[in-house]
């Protein structure tokens, strides 16, 4: 817990004592009274640099857009404290439960990745999946794991009477048969309807309906879907009886549905129904730290155990471009595993022809990079801090690409070994990025933070 200097000592001591008994995991509680600027700086240091989940607790009245500013600085939640520990404790217990789910086999064994970008989105998704029954929309480029993540929403759904996950691939829906696909049909309702049949809405009753590539759904079908989502009732094709159904809706798309909506290709009313919780999955280029763990995971699928990957191959894997994201990495690993014989490490020879199609092309400071920087500028982060975060990230990625070798990472970055050693000694870049330890001593740190 971090208390801004403005917090009354009695309040601080009471909160520290109360929080002692609560499991906080990687959460960080920032308590403040009047010094908003100080609180924002602490929140930013922990949320953006150390990737902690930050709960900002205001013990005095929150004025104006203070909560907004704290959220913009990276706070996961802002609470106005009116005495009593329960509101804080409830939030921290929830976060601890989410962390437990993240570490469970259902998540950790199927979804590989520990990068900050990945963990941030997964944490929120896991919380929504388990603790709400709200519709979920998953977006992201091709191969980023949208289907895997959508299936996880169903797997984690806590409904006691939960039934099946029904998947409808909207790219393969034939307009003439779509009614039957979704609504089912009565016997004899059209040529070939030799028996009555349930459609996706009936099959998903008490379960989850997963509409993959929902952006491809024709407008007419969007209107029909909207009615079922809103009223939970529908009629089979050729039928006259209203049927009821109740399902959780999970949708995925690699289109920008907000743009589709604005340009009239996706109904606004349906969009707002399905996009209550939207999760945008990062590209593999935005989570390069995850490439080697993912590669080991995929190699192990083929070879039983993940063999060692030699430095040159590891470097190649981390640096190359993956337009097909994780799917492309998976396919590449399958080819590597196929070529690899004998017990030794994966070497350059195992890459075969794949070694040629590699290094990223085009400008390195692409749209993703510019998006991050403009977000930082919009959030009011100073030039110095932006530079520092970029440097820290570059160091982390270089060390990861060099399998932990500081010496090779230094060579790659064109700096001396000593420069990286000094960074590591000061806690920056090498294994985590935290140049803000100064808050600890002066602000009543009680050992709860990560």
Ligand X SMILES: Nc1ncnc2c1ncn2[C@@H]1O[C@H](COP(=O)(O)OP(=O)(O)OP(=O)(O)O)[C@@H](O)[C@H]1O
Cα–Cα distances in Å, from 277 out to 86, 136, 345, 379, 388? Answer: 26, 5, 43, 22, 32
- Which entry of Mg ion, ligand X, none binds 179, CB below 5 to 8 A by partner kind? none
Shorter beta-carbon distance to ligand X: residue 39 or 317: 317
DSSP code at position 22:
S
Shorter beta-carbon distance to ligand X: residue 54 or 121: 121
Residue 3's contacts (CB-CB under 8 Å, 6 or more residues apart) are: 12, 15, 30, 31, 32, 443, 444
Site for ligand X in 323-352 (CB under 6 A): 326-327, 330
- Which entry of Mg ion, ligand X, none binds 381, CB below 5 to 8 A by partner kind? none
Count of residues that bind Mg ion according to CB under 5 A = 2
Under rule CB under 5 A, residue 224 binds Mg ion: no
Residue 329's contacts (CB-CB under 8 Å, 6 or more residues apart) are: 284, 291, 294, 295, 298, 317, 322
Q: Is 195 exposed, middle or buried (0-12, 13-18, 19+ CB in 10 A)?
A: exposed
Q: Is 371 exposed, middle or buried (0-12, 13-18, 19+ CB in 10 A)?
A: exposed
Closest by Cα among 193, 191, 199, 269 to 234? 199
Under rule CB under 6 A, residue 140 binds ligand X: yes
User: Per DSSP, what are the bridge partners of residue 77?
Assistant: 55
Under rule CB under 6 A, residue 104 binds ligand X: no
Site for Mg ion in 118-147 (CB under 5 A): 146-147
* CA 283 distance to own-chain centroid: 11
- Which entry of ligand X, Mg ion, none binds 148, CB below 5 to 8 A by partner kind? ligand X
DSSP code at position 46:
I
Under rule CB under 6 A, residue 145 binds ligand X: yes
Closest CB 151 distance from ligand X, rounded Å: 8
Site for ligand X in 110-139 (CB under 6 A): 111-113
Count of residues that bind ligand X according to CB under 6 A = 17
Any alpha helices (H) in 345-382, and if so which ranges? 348-351, 367-378
Shorter beta-carbon distance to ligand X: residue 145 or 184: 145
- Which entry of ligand X, Mg ion, none binds 144, CB below 5 to 8 A by partner kind? ligand X
Distance of alpha carbon 174 from alpha carbon 179, whole angstroms? 9
Distance of alpha carbon 143 from alpha carbon 58, whole angstroms? 42
Shorter beta-carbon distance to Mg ion: residue 91 or 146: 146
- Compose the 217-256 pattern: x for residues touching ligand X by CB under 6 A, - for all others: -------------------------------------x--
- Looking at 147, 224, 256, 321, which residue binds ligand X (CB under 6 A)? 147
Under rule CB under 5 A, residue 216 binds Mg ion: no
CB burial string 412-426: b at 16+ within 10 A, e below? bbeeeeeebeebeee
Shorter beta-carbon distance to ligand X: residue 299 or 389: 299
Under rule CB under 6 A, residue 285 binds ligand X: no
- Compose the 157-196 pattern: x for residues touching ligand X by CB under 6 A, - for all others: ----------------------------------------
Shorter beta-carbon distance to ligand X: residue 91 or 146: 146
Which positions touch Mg ion (CB under 5 A)?
146-147
Site of interaction with ligand X (CB under 6 A): 111-113, 140, 142-148, 254, 294, 297, 326-327, 330
């Amino acid at each position: 817990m971090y208390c801004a200097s403005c917090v009354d000592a009695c309040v601080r001591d009471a909160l520290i004592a109360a929080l002692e008994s609560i499991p906080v995991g990687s959460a960080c509680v920032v308590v403040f009274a009047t010094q908003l600027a100080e609180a924002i700086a602490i929140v930013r240091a922990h949320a953006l640099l150390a990737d902690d989940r930050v709960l900002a607790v205001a013990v005095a009245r929150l004025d104006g857009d203070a909560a907004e500013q704290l959220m913009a600085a990276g706070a996961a939640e802002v609470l106005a404290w009116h005495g009593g520990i329960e509101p804080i404790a409830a939030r921290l217990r929830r976060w601890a439960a989410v962390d437990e789910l993240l570490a469970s086999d259902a998540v950790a064994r199927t979804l590989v990745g520990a990068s900050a970008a990945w963990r941030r989105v997964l944490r929120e998704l896991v919380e929504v999946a388990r603790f709400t029954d709200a519709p979920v929309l998953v977006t992201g480029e091709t191969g980023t794991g949208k289907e895997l993540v959508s299936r996880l929403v169903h797997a984690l759904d806590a409904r006691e009477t939960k039934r099946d996950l029904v998947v409808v691939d909207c790219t393969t829906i034939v307009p003439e048969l779509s009614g039957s696909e979704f609504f089912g049909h009565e016997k004899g309702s059209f040529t070939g309807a030799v028996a009555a049949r349930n459609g996706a809405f009936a099959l998903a009753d008490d379960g989850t309906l997963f509409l993959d590539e929902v952006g491809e759904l024709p407008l007419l079908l969007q209107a029909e879907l909207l009615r079922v989502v809103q009223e939970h009732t529908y009629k089979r094709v050729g039928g006259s009886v209203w049927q009821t159904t109740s399902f959780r809706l999970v949708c995925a798309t690699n289109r920008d549905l907000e743009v589709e909506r604005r340009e009239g290709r996706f109904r606004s009313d349906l969009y707002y129904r399905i996009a209550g919780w939207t999760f945008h999955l990062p590209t593999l280029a935005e989570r390069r730290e995850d490439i080697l763990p993912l590669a080991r995971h995929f190699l192990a699928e083929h070879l039983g155990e993940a063999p060692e990957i030699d430095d040159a191959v590891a470097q190649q894997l981390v640096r190359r471009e993956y337009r097909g994201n994780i799917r492309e990495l998976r396919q590449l690993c399958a080819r590597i595993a196929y070529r690899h014989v004998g017990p030794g490490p994966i070497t350059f020879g195992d890459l075969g022809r794949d070694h040629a199609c590699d290094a990223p092309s085009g400008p390195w400071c692409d749209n993703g990079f510019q998006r991050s920087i403009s977000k930082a500028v919009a959030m009011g982060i100073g030039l110095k801090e932006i530079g520092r975060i970029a440097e820290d990230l570059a160091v982390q990625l270089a060390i990861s690409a060099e399998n932990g070798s500081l010496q090779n990472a230094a060579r790659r970055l064109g700096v001396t070994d000593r420069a990286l050693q000094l960074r590591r000694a000061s806690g920056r870049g090498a294994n985590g990025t935290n140049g803000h330890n100064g808050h600890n001593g002066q602000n009543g740190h009680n050992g709860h933070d990560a």
